[in-house]
Amino acid sequence: MKLLVEINHYPGILDREFDITYIGLGKRGEKRGFITVSSRFGEIPLRTGLDHLAIKDLAKKYLDFDVVICTNLPTILAGKLARKMGFSGKIIFDDYGVWPWKGFLPWGPLAVFFPCWVRANIISCKEAIDVAVTPSEFERQNAIRKYGFKPESVLKIPYTIEDFFSPSVSGNEFRSKIGVEDTELLITYAGRLNPTKGIDRLVRALLLIRNEIPSRLLLVGRNQRFLRKILRISRSLSVLDKVIYAGFLPRERMPEVYAASDIVVIPSLYETFCFAALEAMACGRPVIASNVGSLPEVVGDAGILCDPNPKELASAIKRLWNDKELARELMEKGPQRAKEIRTKAERILRVLSS
């Protein structure tokens, strides 16, 4: 079976069983293992599904495959066109959810309308899609409500992560490199830096624990025009010296980041799945996460869930600092939880072969 995949949310599962080719959006030419397509009019027209000619070129490529797993709008629109060209294989819509874009996309006010544009186009493609998969029940219900899919055609199949996220990795070298003492509590946030992630609330929580716990806050991830505000808030609260920004790091380096951390906090205001929470648990780190979106389904009882406000976040951090037994319990539960989710992710194989 030949698979064409936009994003492989099932590493170690799909590539173990199938011959996979990947779709590279926004790139010209073709390279080994990839079919790449680029807009003639720049990045945004392709990403928003506006370049019909580029999407038509991609649709022609679908005819050489048995299954296409689409994630973003251009590949879904290409699937609709491929059906008209005679594609008889299976089209799977991997729907990770349309999260709030307003406030940090480089194209400003237009971002307000983007979710509506995506929704209208996906609805127009429904007949071309054989099955939709979502990583959580939260997003499954969203897909049924937003796009009008029949409930039986939308399946909850959680995503999974690479095997190199493991408790066996050491973080001593990384911790030493960023200058954090063993006596300090290293609180880590990993993920994109934008307004939906609640990082400003985590900084305010840092102020609330400063006098009780010797702590540092490590931020790791791609800046989406929000770092300046975080640093400005940190300076105004006199905790700037407690904040470390390590920038964006490759996934292969993240296990040592988690291993160096004492607690990983996900203070998001919305999450469609959250790989960072799963990665941290797989590495045996205690996790504190917001009780919003799909996070409760990802974390389960292997972490602490709380409202994403400074007071609740600070209270959860203090709880782990003072209760070493609870911290050890979560460190044991995390890898088990990650294995449970991976087992459930294997269900994608049945979808592909049915």
Q: What is the edge-to-edge ordering of all strands in the sheet holding 287-290?
A: 243-247, 215-220, 185-190, 263-266, 287-290, 304-306
pLDDT of amino acid 32: 63
Type of residue at 309: N
- Please give the structure tokens belonging to residue 184: 């300090």
Rounded distance between C-alpha atoms, residue 179 and residue 203, angstroms: 19
pLDDT of amino acid 118: 87
- Please give the structure tokens belonging to residue 36: 């790449």
pLDDT of amino acid 46: 87
CB 59 within 8 A of CB 85: yes
Rounded distance between C-alpha atoms, residue 317 and residue 133, angstroms: 34
pLDDT of amino acid 104: 46
Rounded distance between C-alpha atoms, residue 52 and residue 73, angstroms: 12
CB 125 within 8 A of CB 77: yes
Q: What is the pLDDT of residues 288-303, one digit of tens each?
A: 999 999 999 999 999 9
Q: What is the DSSP string of 268-326?
A: -S--SS-HHHHHHHHTT--EEEESSTTHHHHHTTSSEEE-SSHHHHHHHHHHHHH-HHH
pLDDT of amino acid 109: 59
Rounded distance between C-alpha atoms, residue 299 and residue 334, angstroms: 8
Superfamily of domain 172-342: Glycogen Phosphorylase B; (3.40.50.2000)
CB 162 within 8 A of CB 8: no
In the chain, where are the structural domains located? Answer: 2-157, 172-342
CB 230 within 8 A of CB 203: yes
Alpha carbon distances (Å) from 185 to 271, 313, 314: 26, 15, 13
Cβ neighbors of 117 (< 8 A, separation 6 or more) are: 48, 49
Q: Which residues of the chain have pLDDT under 70?
A: 27-32, 98-112
Q: What is the pLDDT of residues 240-261, one digit of tens each?
A: 999 999 999 999 999 999 999 9
pLDDT of amino acid 45: 85
pLDDT of amino acid 38: 87
3-state secondary structure of 60: helix
DSSP class of 267: -
Q: Do domains 2-157 and 172-342 have the same CATH topology?
A: yes
CATH of domain 2-157: 3.40.50.2000
